[in-house]
């Protein structure tokens, strides 16, 4: 049974008019999710629409009902990765607490998202393959992530919770380190995404030097 057939079965109980649109949206999302997995596994250039159709268990012409091109698929995958990150960061900030509490929460969210299909696609494939206008739009979204980290670092310093530092450089270091998880993460590895996120946050905030009080 193909993924599309499974979606049809699950959608069968949906109500009349909205059911068709819900089914189409679910199938389109299946296309994007499957494409993100393949981009992460093989790379963008090494993945064809035929590969995506084969994994979904449908014909290639069927894909064109949901997407126009492989470039559009990549754009949507990267956009979803960015939107997930921005939404997660905003929810973490809205939860309140000190600047340090919010920074830790945002770091965990980011570290967790880059182990997911769309978040990983954002890191492994990026936006370099996209047309200039799309690339500009996505990079504006990326800048929002950096700005959120930068403001929290700056607030943490002002509140006396973080050591004095250059907020811009520190935000770059935090974002870069967490992003790199998406490069090497292996779902079959020894550590779960939550364990990786916890270790990453601890290392970035506490460092690796042994303190005198710990000897």
Query: 100: domain CATH number?
Result: 1.10.357.10
- Residue that is written with structure tokens 């270091």 in the block: 173
Q: How far apart are CA 51 and CA 44, in angstroms?
A: 11
Q: Does residue 95 share a domain with residue 31?
A: no
Q: Does residue 200 share a domain with residue 141?
A: yes
Query: What's residue 213's pLDDT?
Result: 67
Q: pLDDT per position in the chain (215 positions), as tens? A: 555 555 554 554 445 457 888 888 889 999 999 999 999 999 999 999 999 999 999 999 998 889 999 999 999 999 999 999 999 999 988 888 999 999 999 999 999 999 999 999 999 988 887 888 888 888 888 899 999 999 999 999 999 999 999 999 999 999 999 999 999 999 999 999 999 999 999 999 998 888 776 55
Q: How far apart are CA 32 and CA 117, in angstroms?
A: 10
Token pair belonging to 147: 């700005």
Q: How many CA atoms lie within 13 A of 78 on its CB side?
A: 26
Query: What's residue 135's pLDDT?
Result: 87
Query: What's residue 6's pLDDT?
Result: 52
Q: Is residue 23 part of a domain?
A: yes
Q: Does residue 41 share a domain with residue 114?
A: no
CA 175 to chain centre: 13
Q: How far apart are CA 98 and CA 160, in angstroms?
A: 11
Q: Does residue 129 share a domain with residue 42?
A: no
Structural domains of the chain, count: 2
Question: The domain containing residue 88 runs over which residues?
Answer: 75-207
* Contact in structure between 89 and 106 (CB atoms under 8 Å): yes
What's this model's pTM, rounded to 2 decimal places?
Answer: 0.83
């Amino acid at each position: 049974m193909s993924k599309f057939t499974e979606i049809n079965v699950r959608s069968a109980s949906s109500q009349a008019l909205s059911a068709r649109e819900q089914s189409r949206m679910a199938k389109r999302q299946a296309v994007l999710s499957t494409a993100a997995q393949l981009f992460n596994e093989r790379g963008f250039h090494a993945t064809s629409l035929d590969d995506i159709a084969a994994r979904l268990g449908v014909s290639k012409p069927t894909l064109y009902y949901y997407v126009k091109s492989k470039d559009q698929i990549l754009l949507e995958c990267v956009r979803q990765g960015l939107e997930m990150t921005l939404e997660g960061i905003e929810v973490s900030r809205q939860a309140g607490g000190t600047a340090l509490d919010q920074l830790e929460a945002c770091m965990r969210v980011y570290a967790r998202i880059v182990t997911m299909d769309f978040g990983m696609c954002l890191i492994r494939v990026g936006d370099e393959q996209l047309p200039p206008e799309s690339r500009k739009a996505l990079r504006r979204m990326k800048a929002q992530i950096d700005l959120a980290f930068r403001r929290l670092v700056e607030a943490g310093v002002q509140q006396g919770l973080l050591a004095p530092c250059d907020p811009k450089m520190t935000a770059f270091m935090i974002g870069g380190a967490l992003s790199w998880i998406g490069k090497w993460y292996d779902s079959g590895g020894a550590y779960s995404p939550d364990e990786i996120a916890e270790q990453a946050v601890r290392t970035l905030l506490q460092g690796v030097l042994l303190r005198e009080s710990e000897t």
